[in-house]
Chains A and B, each alone.
Chain A
């Protein structure tokens, strides 16, 4: 069964303290890996899509990277407004369903303290 595991479950950082969030996956036939940010009581907000190992994407203080087994979301010099839950999702062929499925990890809750 396909699995997407995010670590850590929760992370507290001081403002300006850089760190990385991890998303590891065990799927065959990866078609895409997606990162979302979700604020409390709101729907996930799209951040990045990565399609192949070695690919990197950046947006402001965030940088996403992808290997054959995992993806990292690097946060450089975070600010309190970066506090949110970060979700990763993997799109891959599900032989049981006979279709491409998007499977989400349970997220990493990031808190940035001023």
Chain B
């Protein structure tokens, strides 16, 4: 069974630009969650999508947004990039029920210059 895939793996952008990251979940998984990982803050929850609807949201500004498609693939968008947005962005998928394990992708490393 194929794992969670994320594209692109690496990205370099400049301040003020916007970026879109993509995540394909494990086949049969309907929930996709996004996390930001930085050395100082660790893993922080951005949001979760389930059946094309945002089900949970973390404490991030509105510049961070996402969506989910009917095939469960998800995209995350960050507008007006700031230097502090440099991080590893991880997505995780699960079948969507409470207590279910989330399985992570390899992440997208974003560097904002």
Contact = CB atoms under 8 A, between A and B. Distances in A.
A43 interface: yes
Nearest to A49: B101
B107 interface: yes
Interface string B2-23: 0010000000000000000000
A50 B90 CA distance: 23
Interface residues of A, number: 25
A105 B42 CA distance: 7
B53 interface: no
Interface in B64-94: 90, 92
A17 interface: no
B103 A46 contact: yes
Contacts of A102: 33, 45, 102
Contacts of B90: 43-44
B43 A104 contact: yes
Nearest to B99: A32
B55 interface: yes
A104 B106 contact: no
A34 B106 contact: no
Given A31-B98, A100-B98, A43 B45 contact: no
Interface of A: 31-32, 34, 36, 41-46, 49, 51, 87, 89, 91, 97, 99-107
11 contacts: A34-B102, A42-B106, A43-B4, A43-B90, A43-B92, A43-B105, A97-B57, A99-B56, A101-B45, A101-B58, A103-B45
